[in-house]
Amino acid sequence: MQSMESINAEFERQNATKVRLSRLSLDEKTRALAKFRNRFVWSLLYTSLGIYFGLLIAVLEFPGAMSLSVYGELNLGLLAVVVQFALTIATFWAYCAWAERVYDPKAAELLRSAFAHSNGDRHE
């Protein structure tokens, strides 16, 4: 027959394992969400800034070509400016749409897990 001490020790060990697993699970969820968010936002950022600096370098490197008319007074240089403004707005729109539709529910889920985890910690 098990002594009271050994039962308590086993109970403590199981609790400690549970807390570790719970913490591990929360850390894993956090890392998974961070990876998910980073993959989207950094790709979008690199693309947007890449196009911005690409356009800028093209404008600075080939100033003569910028005077080529596209339509009336609108030349390649002014078109690059229009494209840049449109690109910035499109980037914002893409991010906001993605965040509202995809990211926010996942962030809310992580918050719920974190609350559950901290409540679990308090009970134990």
Interface ranges with another protein (CB under 8 A):
26-27, 30-31, 33-34, 37-38, 41-42, 44-45, 48-49, 52-53, 56-57, 59-61, 63-64, 66-67, 72-75, 77-78, 81, 84-85, 88-89, 91-92, 95-96, 99, 104, 107-108, 110-111, 114-115
Tokens of 89: 């707005």
Nearer to another protein, 2 or 71 (CB): 71
In total, the chain counts a number of residues equal to 124
User: Please, which residue, 71 or 123, has the CB nearer to another protein?
Assistant: 71
Smallest gap from residue 74 Cβ to another protein (A): 8
* Distance of alpha carbon 59 from alpha carbon 51, whole angstroms: 12
- CA dist 43 and 51 (Å) reads 12
Query: Minimum Å distance from CB 20 to another protein?
Result: 14
Going from the C-alpha of 79 to that of each of 15, 59, 62, 123, the distances in angstroms are: 65, 11, 14, 63
Closest approach of Cβ 1 to another protein, in Å? 43
Alpha helices in 62-103 (DSSP H): 76-98
